[in-house]
Amino acid sequence: GEYQVDDYYEMIKRQMKQIREKLEKLRASRELRRKHRYEAGFYLIAIAGYTNAGKSSLLNLLSDERVRVEEMLFSTLSPTTRRVSKKQCFTTARPPLLLTDTVGFIRDLPSWVIDAFHSTLEEIAVADLVLLVVDISDPVEEIKVKIETSLKELREIAASSSIVLVFNKMDRIKDEKILAAKIETLKDVIDGMPYVCVSILQRINIEELIETVSQNLPALMQVKMVLPFTEEAQRFVSMLYEKAWIINIEYSSKITVDLAINQRIYDKIVSLCQRVGGRVYTTAK
């Protein structure tokens, strides 16, 4: 009767309040982790796109770790972040890279659900690069709608980073001419964005994807450091292995290090280098 409905209503309100409180705690925790990653000089690559497009599979492939891959809505409600595997060579001067798998986009969600999802999409807003994964085996008109909806959602969360379109499941299109024609039909919605056709399952064109990612990351600072051969300087070098990509290192009467670092921590690294008696020379990228 009416009283039973009221009881259910109050119970749902309590549960929604508890969920909002948990989401707020998760948001605060993620903010602390993001601050640490930012200060450590990590590049953050966010993997976005519709449910079942292959986002978690891409994260698994590039990180050499396993996160669950399910054909279920909301199975990635909380973002999963992994460091890119050392087996994956993005450039000769590969910086520390983190991949984040975010919740799948879904059209026409009610506003109260979108509020919950936005807390998980914060990772995209602060990312250095977004990989927008799309199922290329879908009908062309459906692909267009999904790309347009995804881009609209990215704009709403104020994502300003570069976007690379990853057209996944190309192995399902057996004729290369059909695939090429499909891409040509999508050119208006692609609108000049970099894109790669891949098969994550069959590991097709993964090297091309990696190269495209490296080309679209914010520029690295190429640096040469000459350090005294002291215990303090050696501790500094150990720290560099976590915050930068060491290209070459030579030990003689001094320690000479060629490295690439994220621009946003350049001043901090230079200051630490000088503190241990080192000199810094910037080089061409």
CATH number, residue 140: 3.40.50.300
Confidence band of 103 (pLDDT split at 50, 70, 90): low
Confidence band of 76 (pLDDT split at 50, 70, 90): very low
Range of the domain at 238: 220-283
Distances (CA, A) of 186 to 107, 112, 170, 259: 20, 32, 15, 40
Helix 266-275 and helix 231-243, axial crossing angle in degrees, nearest 10: 170
Confidence band of 29 (pLDDT split at 50, 70, 90): confident
| Domain finish residue from 199, 216, 233 | 216
Percentage of residues in the chain having pLDDT higher than 70: 81
4 lies in a domain? no
Q: Which of 17-21, 64-68, 270-274 has the highest mean pLDDT?
A: 270-274
CA gap 96, 84 in Å, rounded = 8
CA gap 85, 81 in Å, rounded = 12
CA gap 100, 86 in Å, rounded = 17
What is the DSSP code (8-state) at residue 241? H
Short-list 48, 265, 54, CA closest to 162 = 48
DSSP for 201-233, please give it.
TTTBSHHHHHHHHHHHSPPEEEEEEEEESSHHH
Confidence band of 265 (pLDDT split at 50, 70, 90): confident
Does residue 230 share a domain with residue 201? Answer: no
What's the pTM?
Answer: 0.71
132 lies in a domain? yes
Does residue 272 share a domain with residue 208? Answer: no
Residues 137-191 have pLDDT tens digits of 999 999 999 999 888 888 877 677 889 999 999 999 989 999 999 999 999 999 9
Does residue 193 share a domain with residue 225? Answer: no
CA gap 248, 93 in Å, rounded = 10
Does residue 130 share a domain with residue 110? Answer: yes
Kindly state the helix (H) or strand (E) to which residue 116 belongs, with its residue range. Answer: helix 111-120
Say which residues have a Cβ less than 8 Å from residue 150's Cβ, sequence separation at least 6. Answer: 48, 49, 50, 105, 132, 134
Does residue 239 share a domain with residue 261? Answer: yes
